[in-house]
């Protein structure tokens, strides 16, 4: 073999080695990319799992509320306080967690918060007295503060644009679905164990499982990774000034607080209200009240689950499909959905005294329209707030949602119900004192006063209690109308606020292009828009 042939063979071998090395390197990159993608999906699944668990616990207590009132001797206002008491530790810890979440390890904060929440929830189920139960139960607000403000921000840092919208939609399935499952599971477990306390011991187990999953699989991405930017954090006072002058943030916060108010009011009192309406009817006298309440909780929970799935899916799909053509479609879908649910929920409160079918049908469609906003509202918040302020923004917004919304409304409705009772002329007790046996399990003793072993509802005052609670729930509907108009008002500011976030991200790009994944693509609707001269930006806010 001559020298030329040797040289050609050597070159061929060298080229083959290069190609082989290049192929191996590409395979390694692909494997790493697939691993990162799986971890991102696992992170979303873990966050969704605990969000589901949390809302099961929050609203599941409504499925056993009458049993708790009987056992612990709680009035309506005190029973409403069960859903409200957690707001005190939440108010204390939420701003702190939002501040820390924008600066330190979110994984560590989640682990500590969820572990504490699980311990508090389990301990509360062993409390023998009303006030000790309320106090220990209120400590779950610490875990709520650690989780609710960080989870949406983590998802927003993992994904961008329409991909983020889809995963946020999955995340917010947990609110209505978890609430509905809570009604069902708590009521069924309490019935099976013949003790309402066992209903409260289901969710802590899921909480401890979540802690293990976070330690093993959860990914905490850099802030702003999905937008391809890396901004430095600013002071807490600068963040507050930013929120106070941010039009979209203000309107979205007002709207979501109003929606949370109506959701919390009917979520806490809905099963009892419908049961009271059925108890006042002659045809329901042959059914045991405990069984009736369990059946109502089951149907109420089923409707909440189904309408939650349908509402979030329809709202998210309409938003992602129409957003490119109509930039203000997100707040408009939310606003008209909330507004359309008002007459339906009003009809449900009126029809609850009659046959069951019309009550459940109007409630079904009212909940469906109301649930259109859950994923879209958070998506709007995320794409109109700069990445380094998202945890703080979400923490402050959820604080308002709880204080003035779903945490406060059960107590306010209960307080109003107790206030209306003396004003309502019942005349119902004499009607059933004449033939009380149909409401007793044994059918032998007259009902002189409420006996929790016989009935979790005092049938001698059912008419009065129903009417008082009905008047209280009417007030919540006015708050719902306010929320609808606040969503519509968001459409006035959302385009400019989103454009400002895009410009802020462009000022601070991530220099390493490999750190931005392929699924964080830019929305075509943004890239196709004509260039608009940018307004003056205070660069010090972002650098």
Tell me: the pLDDT tens digits for 460-489? Answer: 778 888 888 999 999 888 999 999 999 999
pLDDT of residue 242: 84
pLDDT of residue 436: 37
What was the pLDDT predicted at 444?
34
* Angular region, 294: left φ>0, alpha ψ -120 to 50, beta rest: alpha
Q: Looking at the whole model, is its pTM more than 0.75?
A: no
Cβ contact 276:462 at 8 Å: yes
Tokens of 254: 């007002």
DSSP 402-425: IIIIITHHHHHHHHHHHHHGGGS-
pLDDT of residue 524: 38
Instruction: Extract the tokens encoding 256.
Output: 């979501």
199 contacts 353 by C-beta, under 8 angstroms: no
Chain-centre distance for alpha carbon 217: 23
d(CA 532, CA 34): 38
What is the C-alpha to C-alpha distance for residues 503 and 532, in angstroms, rounded to an integer?
11
Q: Are 206 and 30 in contact (CB under 8 A)?
A: no
**Phi–psi pair at 229, nearest 5 degrees:** -135, 160
| pLDDT score at 487 | 93
What letter would DSSP give residue 281? S
Report the C-alpha gap between 205 and 53 in whole angstroms.
10
- In 3D space, the residue among 327, 324, 331 whose CA is nearest the CA of residue 498 turns out to be 327
Is residue 112 within 8 A of residue 146, CB to CB? The reply is yes
Query: Taking the CA atoms of the chain, what radius of gyration do you get in angstroms?
Result: 27
Distance CA 269, CA 207 (A): 26
pLDDT of residue 517: 39
How high is the pLDDT of residue 445? 34
Cα–Cα distance between 379 and 152 in angstroms, integer? Answer: 9
Compute the distance between CA of residue 79 and CA of residue 62 in angstroms, rounded to an integer.
Answer: 9
pLDDT of the residue at 430: 38
Q: First-to-last CA distance in the chain?
A: 66
CB 117 within 8 A of CB 95: no
Spans of the chain below 70 pLDDT: 1-35, 161, 223-233, 282-287, 290, 425-458, 505-543
pLDDT digits (tens, 9 = 90+) for 288-307: 776 777 788 888 888 988 88
Q: What's residue 340's pLDDT?
A: 94
């Amino acid at each position: 073999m001559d020298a030329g042939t040797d040289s050609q063979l050597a070159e061929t071998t060298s080229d083959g080695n290069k190609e082989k090395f290049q192929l191996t390197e590409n395979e390694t990159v692909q494997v790493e990319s697939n691993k990162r993608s799986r971890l991102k999906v696992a992170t979303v699944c873990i966050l969704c799992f605990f969000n589901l668990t949390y809302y099961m616990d929050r609203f599941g207590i409504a499925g056993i509320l009458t049993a708790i009132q009987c056992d612990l001797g709680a009035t309506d206002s005190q029973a409403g306080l069960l859903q409200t008491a957690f707001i005190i530790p939440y108010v204390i810890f939420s701003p702190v967690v939002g501040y820390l979440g924008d600066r330190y390890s979110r994984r560590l904060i989640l682990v500590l918060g969820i572990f504490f929440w699980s311990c508090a929830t389990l301990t509360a189920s062993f409390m023998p007295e009303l006030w000790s139960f309320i106090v220990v139960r209120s400590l779950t607000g610490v875990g709520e503060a650690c989780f609710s403000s960080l989870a949406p921000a983590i998802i927003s840092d993992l994904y961008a644009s329409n991909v983020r919208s889809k995963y946020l939609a999955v995340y917010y399935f947990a609110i209505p679905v978890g609430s509905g499952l809570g009604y069902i599971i708590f009521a069924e477990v309490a019935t099976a164990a013949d003790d309402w306390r066992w209903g409260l011991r289901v969710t802590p187990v899921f909480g401890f499982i979540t802690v293990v999953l976070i330690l093993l699989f959860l990914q905490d991405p850099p802030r702003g990774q999905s937008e391809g930017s890396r901004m430095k954090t600013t002071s807490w006072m600068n963040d507050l000034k930013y929120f106070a002058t941010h039009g979209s943030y203000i309107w979205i916060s007002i709207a979501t607080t109003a929606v949370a108010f109506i959701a919390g009011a009917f979520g806490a009192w809905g099963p009892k209200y419908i049961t009271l309406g059925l108890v006042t009817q002659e045809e329901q006298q042959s059914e045991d009240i405990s069984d009736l309440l369990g059946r109502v909780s089951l149907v109420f929970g089923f409707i909440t689950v189904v309408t939650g799935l349908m509402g979030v899916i329809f709202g998210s799909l309409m938003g992602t499909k129409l957003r490119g053509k109509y930039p203000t479609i997100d707040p408009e879908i939310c606003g008209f959905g909330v507004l359309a649910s008002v007459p339906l929920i009003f009809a449900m409160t009126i029809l609850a005294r009659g046959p069951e079918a019309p009550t459940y049908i109007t409630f079904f469609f009212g909940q469906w329209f109301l649930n259109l906003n859950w994923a879209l509202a958070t998506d709007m918040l995320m794409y109109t707030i700069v990445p380094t302020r998202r945890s703080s923004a979400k923490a402050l917004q959820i604080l308002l949602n709880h204080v003035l919304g779903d945490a406060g409304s059960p107590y306010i409705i209960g307080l109003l119900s107790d206030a209306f009772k003396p004003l309502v002329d019942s005349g119902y007790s004499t009607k059933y004192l004449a033939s009380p046996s149909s409401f007793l399990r044994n059918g032998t003793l007259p009902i002189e006063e409420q006996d929790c072993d016989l009935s979790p509802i005092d049938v001698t005052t059912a008419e009065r209690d129903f009417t008082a609670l009905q008047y209280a729930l009417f007030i919540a509907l006015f708050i719902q109308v306010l929320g609808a108009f606040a969503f519509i008002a968001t459409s006035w500011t959302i385009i400019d606020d989103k454009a400002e976030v895009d410009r802020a991200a462009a000022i601070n790009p991530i220099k390493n292009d490999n750190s931005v994944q392929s699924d964080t693509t830019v929305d075509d609707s943004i890239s196709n828009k004509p260039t608009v001269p940018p307004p003056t930006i205070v660069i010090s806010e972002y650098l």
